[in-house]
């Protein structure tokens, strides 16, 4: 398990990456914005690298309260990277603000979204 954390301008993002069962999980909590996206992207990159078929990558955003366009781009990049190597990417999202960002940009039509 890898823990990442970043605190800039009073905004905090906590990210942990772990492998268990059928996947590599990236569990994020807090805000993904221009100040914290590097940490988020690094965790997604590590998960994509570690998850070889038949494993999947799960981006657990259930504790993310804000997702900027930079975070959306990081998710799309991870989606494309995983798809190229034959690894599914699943995104768990429950917060209405984060889900709304995915919906208004159309990213919800590209990513495999779940509420758990």
CATH number, domain containing residue 29: 3.30.750.24
Mean pLDDT, the chain cut into blocks of 10 residues (116 residues total): 52 90 95 96 96 95 97 98 96 96 97 92
Is the distance from CB of 11 to CB of 28 less than 8 angstroms? Answer: no
What pLDDT, on the 0 to 100 scale, is given for residue 7?
Answer: 45
Report if residue 10 sits inside a domain: yes
Q: Are 82 and 89 in contact (CB under 8 A)?
A: yes
- The pLDDT assigned to 13 comes to 96
Three-class secondary structure of residue 94 per DSSP = coil
- The answer to whether residues 31 and 64 touch, using CB atoms and an 8 Å cutoff, is yes
Q: Which residue range(s) make up the domain with 30?
A: 2-111
Cis check: omega of the bond before 51, within 30 degrees of 0: no
Residue 4: what pLDDT?
63
Distance (Å, rounded) from C-alpha 68 to C-alpha 18? 24
């Amino acid at each position: 398990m890898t823990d990442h954390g970043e605190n800039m301008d009073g905004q905090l993002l906590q990210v942990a990456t772990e492998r268990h069962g059928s996947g590599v999980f990236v569990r994020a909590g807090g805000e993904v914005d221009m100040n914290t996206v590097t940490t988020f992207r690094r965790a997604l990159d590590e998960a994509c690298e570690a998850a070889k078929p038949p494993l999947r990558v799960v981006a657990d955003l259930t504790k993310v309260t804000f997702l900027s366009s930079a975070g959306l781009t990081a998710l799309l990049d991870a989606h494309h990277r995983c798809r190229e190597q034959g690894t599914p990417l699943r995104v768990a999202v429950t917060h209405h603000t984060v889900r709304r960002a995915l919906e208004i940009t159309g990213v919800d039509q590209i990513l495999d979204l779940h509420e758990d």
